A and B are shown apart, each in its own frame.
Chain A
Amino acid sequence: MDTLIQQGINAISLGAIYSLFALGYAMVFSILGVLNLAHSAIFMLGAFFGLIAIDQWSLPLWLAFPIAMLGAGLVSVGLELVAFRPLRRRNAARISQLISSIGAAILIVNITQLIFRQIYNSTEAYLPRDLIPSDPIVIESLGLRVQPVRMLIVVIALVLMVLLQYLVNRVRIGQHMRAVAFNQRIAALFGINVSRIFIFTFFLAGVLGGAAGMFYGVVFLNVTPFIGEDVALIGLTAIVLGGMGSIPGAVLGGFLVAGLQIFSIVIGGSSFRNAVVFLLLFIILLIRPQGLLGQPESTRA
């Protein structure tokens, strides 16, 4: 029982990072209908900017966070301008946009690799160990040991998610985003500046991806130019599982994937955890092809 609760906590803190990362994928998809495979590179940049801010500029953590998020958001806007907008202008197939995002991802990762070499003379670096108090909170009665930072991450992640939900549903620019997601042409007719909405969406997606990357760096301390590759597939799975383009779906998907992975470890199948995740994904897709919280395809424009 004790282990089960402990594992539950593990799942929640991992799920928070996955969800935050998946949100960025989901937002871009809901608006453009395109997968932005460079989002994993943005995630990595979040961790990288955080590392630079803390390790090179000696900034405190609370200042490094917004820097990492802002930096990742700006690069994400750059992606829209360089890899997506020119293709949309040429009416290119969505699949071409997918490939251009791969090209952009390769570019970002390789440039970061060069910068890593310059600064650290290696392709990995560590955040300082004393960055966050690592003494775990011990709850003897339950036999639990919880890292405060992990709980903090869950809290911050949830706050960011609620803020996002508020923004999309209650604030004007969020309503414009939903209008553009529903139908670009109609939105343009209503006087919405569609390209500005695109930029704003990429910025938000980048900020969330950057936050996820920064969390990842803070919890695990190890940062390399390749950490994005580890979450790329997980993020994709999460949004498909939750329902493409659905914001609550991405959050649910992220927690579900983390929960499933950890559940497979608990039942003694750590070697099979990704197979378990994908089998469930497969079954869900067969029953509900639009994902758990997604709308059926016909209602989307």
Chain B
Amino acid sequence: MDAVLTPLLDILRPIGITEPVLQFMLVNAILGVSIYLTLHAGMFSLASAGFMAIGAYVGALLTQQSDWPLWAALLGGMAAAGVIAVPIGLPTLRLRDIYLAIATIGFGEVVRVLILNFDDIAASVLTTLQGERVRFRLIEGARGIKGIPTLTETWHLILFLIVLGYLLTRLHRSRFGRAMAAIRQDETVAANMGINVVYVKNMVFILSAVLAGAAGVFSAHLTRIITPAAFGFDKAVDILAFAVLGGTSTWIGPIVGAMVLTAMPEVLRFLKEFRGVFNGLVLLVVIVYLPGGLVNPAGWSRLWQRLGRAQTASPSPSTGVD
């Protein structure tokens, strides 16, 4: 693996992508796929940040407190996220569009608040049980869990994504994959076709949660400290941007989108205080000119035509109501 990685990093480093940046790009790629799955089944869910938090905290506690190896903690974090996704998904997935988005954002916010107050809640429960004041410190609220061992290595992430890509290709060709696509087209029609819509939607939601959990475990073992603030509303919106900027027509899109959006602030470091302005500008311009995302051949060819037309100085077509 190093034989590939070292030359790759030698190319990337001059433009500002050092190994940690590459690692965050790969972790975010997993998150991109996580939200892509739900979007691909027609669900506008923003729960990935919340499940990422669950994965991160469970994984960190397993390696730090219980000395589990990374692979075991990874499975633990993914399982925890998946298990919690069941009771969340069952009632929530009846909602659609923006209502689902807000409900899932709400889930993330509740997770964040629970992490912030977990120790206090546990302490007061223990105090009531034992009848004397008990102090309890495990997940440390806003202080964050510190000193998490840096067990994640770049090849873990690359391997994970390769396996994920293989599974996704298989998924899309399977009955289940076709059922997902059918639900996205029209839920009622899909149900009439004999697809168990509730089952498919919940399964996809769980799969998405499991992937977000995995990203959380990997991420916690890169950043060395996890705080609830890192998994809030901002993160949920960032993850959505990964998928949409990349394009949601194939699973490659969210991966590309995540990597581009993660690398951008680092690559733009030379701009100093104008970095943030450019970041916003690039996001805006890309989405306006390529509404289908970066990985969307039709969008590029349309853009190419427009550019060609602009060169021949023909006036832009008159616009009516869209």
Contacts and interface: CB of A to CB of B under 8 A. Distances in A.
Check whether chain A touches chain B (CB < 8 angstroms).
yes
Interface of A: 29, 35, 37, 82-83, 86-93, 95-96, 98-100, 102-111, 113-114, 117, 184-185, 188, 194-195, 229, 232-233, 236-237, 240, 244, 271-272, 274-275, 278-279, 281-282, 285-286, 289-291, 297
Contacts of A108: 280
A117 B283 CA distance: 24
A278 B98 contact: no
Contacts of B292: 92-93, 96
Nearest to B275: A110
Given A104-B284, A114-B274, A275 B114 contact: yes
Contacts of A35: 98
Contact of A103 (B96, B109, B283, B293): B283
Given A271-B117, A271-B120, A102 B99 contact: no
A99 B244 contact: yes
Contact of B245 (A99, A104, A236): A99
Contacts of B110: 274-275, 278-279
B43 to A, nearest CB: 12
B44 interface: yes
Given A104-B284, A279-B110, 13 more contacts: A93-B291, A95-B39, A95-B44, A99-B240, A99-B241, A103-B284, A108-B280, A110-B280, A111-B277, A113-B276, A278-B106, A282-B106, A285-B102
A106 B276 contact: yes
A230 to B, nearest CB: 11
Interface in B282-296: 282-285, 287-288, 291-293
B3 interface: no
B116 interface: yes
A275 B121 CA distance: 14
Contact of B244 (A96, A117, A233): A96
A289 B284 contact: no
A272 B117 contact: yes
The 8 A-B residue pairs with the shortest CB-CB distance in the complex, in nearest-first order? A106-B280, A92-B291, A103-B284, A107-B280, A103-B283, A278-B106, A110-B276, A275-B113
Given A240-B98, A286-B91, A289-B95, A99 B274 contact: no
Interface residues of B, number: 49
Interface string B75-103: 00000000000000001101110110011
B116 A87 contact: no
Contacts of B248: 95
B287 A99 contact: yes
Contacts of B322: 88-89, 91
B99 A240 contact: yes
Contacts of B102: 236-237, 240, 281, 285
A83 B274 CA distance: 20
B56 interface: no
Given A89-B319, A102-B237, A281-B103, A82 B284 contact: yes
B106 A281 contact: yes
A285 B95 contact: yes
B166 to A, nearest CB: 27
Interface string B227-258: 00000011001001100110010000000000
Contacts of B280: 103-110
Contacts of A290: 99
Interface of B: 39, 44, 91-92, 94-96, 98-99, 102-103, 105-107, 109-110, 113-114, 116-117, 120, 233-234, 237, 240-241, 244-245, 248, 273-274, 276-277, 279-285, 287-288, 291-293, 319-322
A153 to B, nearest CB: 26
A115 to B, nearest CB: 11
20 contacts: A82-B284, A88-B322, A93-B292, A96-B292, A96-B293, A98-B240, A102-B237, A103-B282, A103-B283, A104-B284, A106-B276, A106-B280, A107-B280, A110-B276, A188-B320, A232-B233, A236-B105, A240-B102, A279-B106, A282-B107
A114 B319 contact: no
A289 B117 contact: no
Contacts of A110: 276-277, 279-280
A87 B321 contact: no
A233 B105 contact: yes
Nearest to A244: B98
Contacts of B321: 184-185, 188, 194-195
Given A35-B98, A103-B284, A278 B109 contact: yes
A244 B96 CA distance: 12
Contacts of B319: 89, 195
Contacts of B107: 278, 282
B283 A289 contact: no
Contacts of B320: 188
A88 B39 CA distance: 20
A297 B102 CA distance: 16
A11 to B, nearest CB: 20
A90 to B, nearest CB: 5
B284 A100 contact: yes
Nearest to B317: A89
A87 B291 contact: yes
B172 to A, nearest CB: 20
A83 to B, nearest CB: 6
A109 B279 CA distance: 11
Contacts of B109: 233, 274-275, 278
B75 to A, nearest CB: 29
A88 B287 CA distance: 12
A88 B98 CA distance: 18
A37 B244 CA distance: 15
